[in-house]
Amino acid sequence: MAVGRLPAAVQSWLATLYRLSGPLHGLLNRPQLPAALFIGAQRSGTTFLQGLLAAHPGVRFGRRLERNDGRWRFHPEPHFFDRFYHRGPRWYQSCFPRAVWERENPWLFCDKTPKYLCDPLVPARVRRLLPSAKFLVLLREPVERAYSHHRRRCRVHGLDLSFDQAMRLELASWQAGTATLFAEDRLTGRPAWLWKNPLTRGLYAYQLERWFAILRASNS
């Protein structure tokens, strides 16, 4: 049963338990962190692959509980290293529950968050907490990926903008100079162009180089 279909009182009780997951974690669960991360790219088949692997009895994916439109629901992407890093490792562990009565290490735990690939702050954070983790990256032809990204953005945000218009606006921002290109998002402090624009999400070489640098440092 989906969390959102439960009575309001039960939803509130579950939400309270989830917020107290730090203190309860040591009593009901063993500390658990993922051994593999699906880091991107967005709109490149990561959700489809997650569905295939989740059917395997030896694989579990992390998820977080969030309130949306007045209802509590499980979201299949933890977003710890980009959006919820301030909540700390204990909260991250709560996204991968394993009860104390379950035998030791029966599953491969995975974090599927495609935005990790394009966020410049994520690689160093992953290296500090998960130095031995494996990374999986799915890439898609950049123009097709950008078009899929654009269509989803229009659908979710109600934008009435053609793909050609959106790309022209984005290219114009590039030509305006580096001050616009590397403008930082006021809330996150990250370069906003990297994770908001469909076209720049396809600059795989630039994004992967940061991850390769982390891997080289971890193996040195």
CA 141/CA 143 separation, integer angstroms: 6
Number of domains in the chain: 1
pLDDT, position 168: 85
Q: Environment class of residue 138 by beta-carbon count within 10 Å: exposed (0-12), middle (13-18) or buried (19+)?
A: middle
CA 71/CA 73 separation, integer angstroms: 6
CA 157/CA 155 separation, integer angstroms: 6
Q: Which domain holds residue 136?
A: 3-219
pLDDT, position 26: 47
CATH assignment at residue 120:
3.40.50.300
pLDDT, position 185: 43
pTM for the full model?
Answer: 0.77
CA 66/CA 24 separation, integer angstroms: 18
Q: Which has the closest alpha carbon to 199: 136, 148, 137?
A: 148
How high is the mean pLDDT of the chain? 79
Q: Which has the closest alpha carbon to 142: 197, 204, 194, 193?
A: 204
* Strand, coil or helix: 101: coil
What are the pLDDT digits (tens) for 70-113?
A: 777 889 999 999 999 999 998 999 898 765 556 665 689 999 99
Q: How far is CA 64 from the centre of its chain?
A: 11
22 vs 38: which has the higher pLDDT: 38
Beta strands in 101-172 (DSSP E): 108-112, 134-137
pLDDT, position 13: 67
Average confidence (pLDDT) over 54-59: 91
105 vs 157: which has the higher pLDDT: 157
